[in-house]
Structure 1
Amino acid sequence: MSDIDEDEDGNRRRVLSNGQVMAFIAGFWLRRPLLLLGAVGGMLVAVLFDLMLPTASGRLIDTLTATTRDTAKAWWAWAAFLGVYVGFTITRNIGFRFWNPLAARNMQEMSDEGFKRVQAFSADWHADTFAGATVRRLSRAMWGYDSVSDAVVLWLGPALIVLFGLSLQMMFKWPLIGLLAMTVVAGFLILNLWVVKVYVRPANLRSNALDSRIGGALADAITANPTVKAFGAEPREEARFAGVTAAWSKAVQVTWGRFMDIWLAQNILMVLLLAGMTGMVVDLWSHGRASTGDVVYAITAFLQMSGYLRNIGENVRMMQKGIDDVEDVAGYARMAPQVADVPDAGVLASELGEIVFDHVTFRYKSAAEPLYEDFSLTLAPGERVALVGATGAGKSTFVKLIQRLYDLDAGRILIDGQDIAKVSQQSLRRAIALVPQDPALFHRSIAENIAYARPGATEEEVRLAARRARAEGFIDRLPLGYDTLVGERGVKLSGGERQRVAIARAFLADAPILVFDEATSSLDVETERAVQAAMEELMAGRTTIVIAHRLSTIRGADRILVFENGRIVEEGRHGDLRKKGGLYARLAAMTEGTA
């Protein structure tokens, strides 16, 4: 069964059981049955050779210590002993040659699919989750898979066969010694599998969560480094980060301490096995019921068993840690995307750009009341609409709902007569070009950032988009021009430069619907005029939504919608709304400084 826990982001989540995580990992093994069969087959043959080693060593010693000196028989016994070891080495190596490509490809696919899953999660999910913590979870899972797979297939499986095989061999030869060996092996397994699960795993999950929190704290502080520097807050951030690492250090010491407790108990069992096996076989030898070769057989068998038992201890710990490392990504695979395409979702065919809100009701999950309730509105094809209102009035939500970043509680939104909930999200968002207030660029070249809207664009098309966005001037002044790397989130560029790159990207997208969210807020007056001229060209024949506080940006709108608490309280053109003396007139007066 799964347990409910709180993760490092402060969110309630379901912790998967060991069995659920193992089923997730086994699913990757079964994707390549031939490679799996080759790897397991090689390991099983190697195990058979390993089981023969104590018998071969015992016969060699008996031959060498026989009263009759038979040199030929001795060499044959030596050859058999050597052949067993060589056979073990060769077949295990063959098994690894099947196993390595299986592991590498599965680790690649686990990472790719985990990333794809995270990409599909909603804007709300990403808002609630530290990006740095998510990165740690995804990268840990890949190596967690490697640890679990190696532990189960390469070590634990062969170890169990050898341990029980040798115990059975001894049981047929010396029932009491065989029973002792079987009892110790069973105790060892119970100690490792059950005690590790109930005693070690809770502590390990806690230290893993704090390890992810380290990633989140690092990402939070590093991405906000300009703010940290602006307030001279380096010591505060260092102290905050030190608090997170101190909590991790305390938790991981508990985890490691519990692993050491298990290790101590394991070694006590090993001492019991050593004392019991060797003591009983020496007693048999002293009474003439065991040969020198039998003593060597018992010692060799113990050395083999002790090695495998140590491997079991190490690999059960490695397996449990790996399971805990994979657990988050296995959970992602079981988690349905919060905003999902319907089965057989169609492709949005949008050329005109008509937008219809049809009796829409929407409530944010953290809000007590709906923001929009039975909201209806139609934007005509090619219409330029400005959204104004106080913060939280519903302007940005309007745009997010058109992009289907959230699902509605009731009603529907149509674009050119098509319900956006029934088309693929990718085709929907390709029909909408967004220029946000604070564009986040990738740490790639300027050319790559512009071409992100249309990856197949030619160099000339990228340059033309930059010229139309009035970005070419500052790009040409850079030493590497369009090949200049912009830094994480575009930190190497000024705010105005980032916005012009984003506007160039919108030009290149050539979408029927445009959204400008304070798109000129970071530009100086002269550049703003040039960019507005370019925006006028871009808006021609396209449905345009403008969120802005500057009157210069919205004066020419065909219609201005004044939002208040998710409702449109006024609408009309700039001049008409000014004359009404209502909310828009007050907002305009405050903007102009005449209120």
Structure 2
Amino acid sequence: MRSQNTDIAFSEVSWDSLKSLWPYLLEFKGRIVLALLCLVGAKLASVGMPFILKHVVDHLDQEAAIGAVVLLPLGLLVAYGLVRFCNVLFAELRDTLFGRVTERAMRRIGLKVFRHLHALDLDFHLNRRTGGLSRDIERGTNGISFLLRFMVFNIVPTLLEISLVIGVLLWNYQVWFAVITATAVVVYISYSVVATEWRTQFVRLANTAESESSTRAVDSLLNYETVKYFTNEAHEAGHYDRELAQWESARRKNRLSLFALNGGQALVISAALTAAMVLAASDVLAERMTLGDFVLINAFMMQIFMPLNFLGFVYREMKGSLANIEKMFGLLEHEPRVRDCEGAPPLRVNGGEVVFEAVGFGYGPDRRILHDVSFTVPPGHKVAIVGSSGAGKSTLLKLLFRFYNLDSGRILIDGQDISRVTQDSLRKAIGVVPQDTVLFNTSIFENIRYGRIDAGDDEVREAIRLSHLEGFIGQLPQGADTRVGERGLKLSGGEKQRVAIARTLLKRPPIIVFDEATSSLDSQSEQSILEAIAEIARGQTSLVIAHRLSTVVDADTIIVLDQGRVVEQGSHAALLQLGGTYARLWDIQQRERGAVAVPLP
């Protein structure tokens, strides 16, 4: 039952995806019309060639005057060559004209999928498999290229040409030629459809196996250092080989099924061609047909089965292409859970007040994270959120950015519910220095400029100065032009953190969030970064998520979270005097640092 449901879903998704391609063809209507005219010209030339060939053979077969024998066949042969050249020329012009339509459609659809992936919520991206997703998109784009270039201008024209040839045979010769041709066409198409539908499952299995192996390879290479740390190269190779073994098995089934399909198609064509030639030879011997008619019948049969054989190839590849684009178009069916309200206005930030009002949230019914969390970050104030691991600190950041929808409560910025404003304006108003900084594989300079892509070089250099990156960059042979490697792996954790801080400082948002911003820095670097942060955040609303309490002692208010609830809030001194959760965490951290906790006066 599961397999049947899978096949039904496959068919529905594929044909729906096919329908969705049509709008992309209409962007170049003029080119399509010209391509259709070239197609008609090519088909007319194709049908005309056997008739010219018939007259050439008939004339050569007759006893005629020497001048006629020399001149007339020469003219027919030149005409034959000219018609054949026109057939090829019109076909090439058709493909050239339609090529831009195909390329533009691939561009449009690829861009649409790319934008849609960025529009999907964080939960989708946390569960995605990058390697498999990349292969699905690549195969889907190639499948679109095939569908648009071959299906639109080959299936219908081929069927039309077959109909014309059958009509010509029926009109000029005995009915059995048309019967043989029509029967062969019906049997060929029926067999091709049934066999192709049967073998599509093997195409899909091969694609799935390829995606799995690609996913494993990319995941292993992205975690190269972890593999080395635990000397698990053999384990990764074995795992990858098992994925490749499944791919090999699926490809073998695919190849054997293709052999059965091609063999059956060849049998139908050979049987029909033989039957037609035997019948034509009999008519020539009985003088009901000329030798030219025999050649014409042979040319027509060859001409009709060449596109028919191509039709089998097109249909076979079309089903394969539909299998390839199935998952890519399936991505477009994923609806983002976080959406802008219809007609949502942009966020207007005046002072930058942030209010969490009875916020409740969970990643699922069985994983509740926050319970009735309420606090306020006044304009221009620095508020810290602390607590043990798993208390829900980083979740507050995700909710402020609207990576998820709240289960209950509201988050307000300057009195505006963030669920009622555009996500774009919300995120432009907030700068973040994340705990785990991931950089693009480009230069340090361009990674910093990513904070505000229209920033000038002087502004980027100022951000570098404020984040205390000048000394580090000065030691590099290529300076700020040094590439950081994939995901920034060429830099240490502290260096990446400073790049992230510089990037956020360049953005200069009215609200700044620091999520364990100095967790990867040594004490000296941490102190210098904290001074820079204090300088740049002066007069701005800032929210600091911290595990190391020593970094937030200067906060105007400290919010203490415990198991998703606000258990304490106040200044550093007030919380120490309270002697509760915060005081206990402070004492533990001071002892870990080999210092004695001394309450501030």
Where on the TM-score scale, by shorter chain, does this alignment land: which range?
A: over 0.9
Instruction: Flag the 1:235–1:99 CA change in 2: closer, same or farther, 3 A.
Output: same
Contact 1:148 1:320 (8 Å CA) reproduced: no
Contact 1:274 1:302 (8 Å CA) reproduced: yes
Gaps of 5+ in 1: 8-12
Contact 1:348 1:418 (8 Å CA) reproduced: yes
Q: 1:162-217, CA deviations, whole angstroms, 9 ceiling, x for partnerless residues? A: 222212221222211111111211222222234312x1222212211222222211
Matched, 1:66 2:62: yes
Paired with 1:130 and 1:447, the residues of 2 have a C-alpha distance of: 30
Q: Which residue of 2 aligns with 1:39?
A: 35
> In the alignment, residue 303 of structure 1 is paired with which amino acid?
M
Gaps of 5+ in 2: none
Q: Which residue of 2 aligns with 1:270?
A: 269
Contact 2:184 2:268 (8 Å CA) reproduced: yes
Q: 1:433-465, CA deviations, whole angstroms, 9 ceiling, x for partnerless residues? A: 111112100011111111111111111111111
Instruction: Flag the 1:128–1:412 CA change in 2: closer, same or farther, 3 A.
Output: same
Q: Which residue of 2 aligns with 1:140?
A: 139
**Cα distance, 1:369 vs. partner?**
5.1
Paired with 2:523 and 2:5, the residues of 1 have a C-alpha distance of: 53
Q: Which residue of 2 aligns with 1:53?
A: 49
Paired with 1:14 and 1:311, the residues of 2 have a C-alpha distance of: 25
Q: 1:21-52, CA deviations, whole angstroms, 9 ceiling, x for partnerless residues? A: 21122232222222222223212220121122
Matched, 1:485 2:454: no
Paired with 1:15 and 1:233, the residues of 2 have a C-alpha distance of: 41
Paired with 1:423 and 1:44, the residues of 2 have a C-alpha distance of: 54
Paired with 1:226 and 1:73, the residues of 2 have a C-alpha distance of: 79
Paired with 2:356 and 2:180, the residues of 1 have a C-alpha distance of: 77
Contact 1:151 1:316 (8 Å CA) reproduced: no
Q: 1:291-328, CA deviations, whole angstroms, 9 ceiling, x for partnerless residues? A: 10111011111221232222122222222222222222
Contact 1:28 1:106 (8 Å CA) reproduced: yes
Paired with 1:530 and 1:410, the residues of 2 have a C-alpha distance of: 40
Q: Which residue of 1 aligns with 2:190?
A: 190
Matched, 1:30 2:47: no
Q: Which residue of 1 aligns with 2:562?
A: 564
**Cα distance, 1:536 vs. partner?**
0.7
Instruction: Flag the 1:127–1:460 CA change in 2: closer, same or farther, 3 A.
Output: same
Q: Which residue of 2 aligns with 1:475?
A: 473
Q: Which residue of 2 aligns with 1:377?
A: 375
**Cα distance, 1:402 vs. partner?**
0.5
Q: Which residue of 2 aligns with 1:254?
A: 253
**Percentage of identical aligned residues:** 32
SS in 2 for 1:364: strand
Calculate the TM-score normalised by the size of structure 1: 0.94
> In the alignment, residue 341 of structure 2 is paired with which amino acid?
V
Paired with 1:392 and 1:4, the residues of 2 have a C-alpha distance of: 43
Q: Which residue of 2 aligns with 1:429?
A: 427
Q: 1:350-370, CA deviations, whole angstroms, 9 ceiling, x for partnerless residues? A: 1321112234332314x4254
Contact 1:117 1:333 (8 Å CA) reproduced: yes
Greater Cα offset, 571-580 or 274-283: 571-580
Contact 1:15 1:327 (8 Å CA) reproduced: no
> In the alignment, residue 121 of structure 2 is paired with which amino acid?
S
Instruction: Flag the 1:121–1:184 CA change in 2: closer, same or farther, 3 A.
Output: same
Matched, 1:117 2:116: yes
Paired with 2:530 and 2:13, the residues of 1 have a C-alpha distance of: 57
Contact 2:99 2:149 (8 Å CA) reproduced: no
Instruction: Flag the 1:14–1:428 CA change in 2: closer, same or farther, 3 A.
Output: farther
Paired with 1:375 and 1:494, the residues of 2 have a C-alpha distance of: 35
The equivalences for 1:347-496 within 5 A come to: 347-365=346-364, 367-368=365-366, 370-496=368-494
Greater Cα offset, 288-297 or 61-70: 61-70
Paired with 1:210 and 1:130, the residues of 2 have a C-alpha distance of: 14
How many positions carry a matched residue from both structures?
Answer: 587
Q: Any runs of at least 4 consecutive aligned residues in structure 1 with deviations exceeding 4 A, and if so which?
A: 2-7, 13-16
Q: Which residue of 2 aligns with 1:176?
A: 176
Paired with 2:588 and 2:246, the residues of 1 have a C-alpha distance of: 49
> In the alignment, residue 35 of structure 1 is paired with which amino acid?
R
Q: Which residue of 2 aligns with 1:10?
A: none
**Cα distance, 1:503 vs. partner?**
0.5
User: What's the C-alpha RMSD, in Å, of the aligned pairs?
Assistant: 2.2
Q: 1:510-550, CA deviations, whole angstroms, 9 ceiling, x for partnerless residues? A: 01111111111111111111111001112211121111111
Identify the match of residue 587 of structure 2 among 580, 586, 589.
589
> In the alignment, residue 410 of structure 2 is paired with which amino acid?
R
> In the alignment, residue 233 of structure 1 is paired with which amino acid?
N
**Cα distance, 1:400 vs. partner?**
0.3
Contact 1:47 1:161 (8 Å CA) reproduced: no
Paired with 1:431 and 1:160, the residues of 2 have a C-alpha distance of: 59
Contact 2:98 2:149 (8 Å CA) reproduced: no
Instruction: Flag the 1:78–1:431 CA change in 2: closer, same or farther, 3 A.
Output: same
**Cα distance, 1:507 vs. partner?**
0.8
SS in 1 for 2:451: coil
Contact 2:372 2:565 (8 Å CA) reproduced: no
Instruction: Flag the 1:134–1:393 CA change in 2: closer, same or farther, 3 A.
Output: same
Paired with 1:338 and 1:44, the residues of 2 have a C-alpha distance of: 49
SS in 2 for 1:133: helix
Paired with 1:3 and 1:382, the residues of 2 have a C-alpha distance of: 60
Instruction: Flag the 1:15–1:372 CA change in 2: closer, same or farther, 3 A.
Output: farther
Instruction: Flag the 1:404–1:113 CA change in 2: closer, same or farther, 3 A.
Output: same
Contact 2:442 2:483 (8 Å CA) reproduced: yes
Instruction: Flag the 1:531–1:14 CA change in 2: closer, same or farther, 3 A.
Output: farther
The equivalences for 1:300-379 within 5 A come to: 300-365=299-364, 367-368=365-366, 370-379=368-377
Contact 1:111 1:139 (8 Å CA) reproduced: no
Q: Which residue of 2 aligns with 1:501?
A: 499
Q: 1:461-484, CA deviations, whole angstroms, 9 ceiling, x for partnerless residues? A: 111111111111101111111111
> In the alignment, residue 531 of structure 1 is paired with which amino acid?
I
Instruction: Flag the 1:169–1:104 CA change in 2: closer, same or farther, 3 A.
Output: same
> In the alignment, residue 295 of structure 2 is paired with which amino acid?
V
Greater Cα offset, 461-470 or 369-378: 369-378
Instruction: Flag the 1:329–1:3 CA change in 2: closer, same or farther, 3 A.
Output: farther
Paired with 2:13 and 2:181, the residues of 1 have a C-alpha distance of: 31
> In the alignment, residue 348 of structure 2 is paired with which amino acid?
A
Identify the match of residue 21 of structure 1 among 11, 17, 22.
17
Greater Cα offset, 243-252 or 467-476: 243-252
Paired with 1:226 and 1:300, the residues of 2 have a C-alpha distance of: 65
Contact 2:10 2:326 (8 Å CA) reproduced: no
> In the alignment, residue 488 of structure 1 is paired with which amino acid?
E
**Cα distance, 1:17 vs. partner?**
3.3
**Cα distance, 1:372 vs. partner?**
3.1
Paired with 2:6 and 2:449, the residues of 1 have a C-alpha distance of: 41
> In the alignment, residue 218 of structure 1 is paired with which amino acid?
A
SS in 1 for 2:341: coil
Q: Which residue of 2 aligns with 1:553?
A: 551
> In the alignment, residue 183 of structure 1 is paired with which amino acid?
T
Paired with 1:577 and 1:5, the residues of 2 have a C-alpha distance of: 60
Paired with 1:337 and 1:548, the residues of 2 have a C-alpha distance of: 30
Paired with 1:156 and 1:368, the residues of 2 have a C-alpha distance of: 53
